[in-house]
Amino acid sequence: MAEITASLVKALRERTGAGMMECKSALVESKGDLAEGEVVLRKRGIASAGKKASRATKQGLIGTYIHHGGQLGVMVEINCESDFVARTDDFQELVHDVAMHIAAADPRFIRKEDVTADVIEKEKDIQKARALAEGKPEKVIEKMIEGRMAKFYEEICLLEQPFVKEATLTVGQLVKTKIAKLGENISVARFVRFKVGDSLAAESGSETAAAE
């Protein structure tokens, strides 16, 4: 076990924004491992973030990301509770990172609850036909569909997608770590993704906004 020094605690605080006592506690639990200590804080942060989820978010920012060459662009609105938090570097970084992620990962919806019934049914039909074609018995097909739908949501829902800058973290978990750090509820309100020559990108963005 590594010695829990003040410099180690400070390093974890700088990486996470958590308080000194929380950082020391996390390092004790992780036996002095800095990376594991960050994971411990994330888990705790995500738990505390859930308590703030019902609070209204009427402030925030609209951020943009234009990919090199100007052929791909994103506009996203992320909300928080106060103008003070909206002006912080942490919140602005989150808005930029989410916009960049949308440009790279091309989600169709914000969350699982936004996926329309027709899209769900179409995908279930596809997965059932696929399972039957693979010769799977009827009694296991429903379980297979359930598992494959979880993967489907991960592919098309922003908050379920692995964050492009750190694949061990979903975008939803990224938002929750910011909630824990900034002490306010944060929500992704809507986004639109434009790609030159691709009208479906604009249609997808309209669909996302309409789902709200």
The CATH architecture assigned to 6-50 reads Orthogonal Bundle (1.10)
Angle at 20 between CA 19 and CA 23, to 5 degrees: 85
Q: Which fold has domain 59-112+157-211?
A: Tetrahydropterin Synthase; Chain A (3.30.479)
Show pLDDT as tens, one digit a residue, over the chain (212 residues).
668 888 888 888 777 767 778 888 889 999 988 888 888 887 777 666 666 777 888 899 999 999 988 999 999 999 999 999 999 999 999 999 999 999 999 999 999 999 999 999 999 999 989 888 888 888 888 888 888 998 999 999 999 999 999 888 899 989 988 998 888 999 999 999 999 987 654 444 444 443 44
Domain residue limits, the chain: 6-50, 59-112+157-211, 116-154
| Contacts by residues 31-39 (CB-CB < 8 Å, ≥ 24 positions apart) | 31/1, 31/2, 32/1, 32/2, 32/3, 32/4, 32/8, 33/2, 34/8, 37/12, 38/12
Domain 116-154 has CATH 1.10.286: yes
